[in-house]
Amino acid sequence: MTNIEHKLYIDTVIRRVETARLRVSGHHIVKIVAVSKYSTSDDISTLYSIGQRAFGENKVQDLKAKAVELDELPLEWHFIGNLQKNKINNLLDIDPTLFQALDSLDLALELQKKLEAKDMTLDCLMQINSAKEESKFGFMPQNAKESYMTIIEKCPNINLKGVMSIGAHSDDTKVIKDSFNTTYSIYKELPNATICSMGMSGDFEMAIECGSNMVRLGSIMFNK
Ligand SMILES: *Cc1c(COP(=O)(O)O)cnc(C)c1O
């Protein structure tokens, strides 16, 4: 696609986000994070040139490579994948805007140690396994609030900003919707939480209608 074609294409995505958010309220603002994990630095530059600023990656080495290559551009980097403890320092070297996948207490405690040693803080979202799927990372819904409070108490260098969740892996829209509603109801109970990150290319409109204010769009943003 040419830049113009890509812009027209992205406009249709933005219009869909806009329509969904207005169904909630004119005051309900939704941020789009473009997930670039299947895309190149060139693809990211193209999206940047038509106005996109926030990008997400799920592998530390890919994030690092792209952040270095695109160092000149004022991009916002989000880390959205499972973080292995031995990669924490590599992630912190990039100083991402938001770590969206804080998925265990163990990881939080280890992250706290590394942050303290570097005299840094990091904005994070707690990942919720709202559909209770074996294959997914994250806190189980029944433990989420208690664990959130524990992290606030024990990890002063972690700034918890809210929650992230991946919709249920199902063909049944009711099951997917239930998973979003579960995440949203936890989000509403958390102190000072302002970000509810849910919704991907296949389900973002439903996620927004369930209260999401941050969508992570990969394939649909890059037309892959
Ligand atoms: C890949 C990924 C996305 C984007 O997925 P698409 O279906 O391509 O929009 C969003 N969130 C997470 C956590 C991902 O790993």
| Ligand 1 center from residue 202 Cα (angstroms) | 9
Q: How many CB atoms lie within 10 A of CB 17?
A: 18
- For residue 5, the CA-to-ligand 1 centroid distance in Å is 23
Contact yes or no for 67/77 (Cβ under 8 A): yes
pTM higher than 0.95 for the full model? yes
Please report the pLDDT score of residue 68 as a whole number.
Answer: 97
Q: Which residue has the CA at smallest separation from atom 11 of ligand 1?
A: 216
- Note the pLDDT tens digit of each residue in 118-168: 999 999 999 999 999 998 999 999 999 999 999 999 999 999 999 999 999
For the chain, domains (ranges, CATH) are 3-222 (3.20.20.10)
User: Is it the case that residue 187 has pLDDT exceeding 80?
Assistant: yes
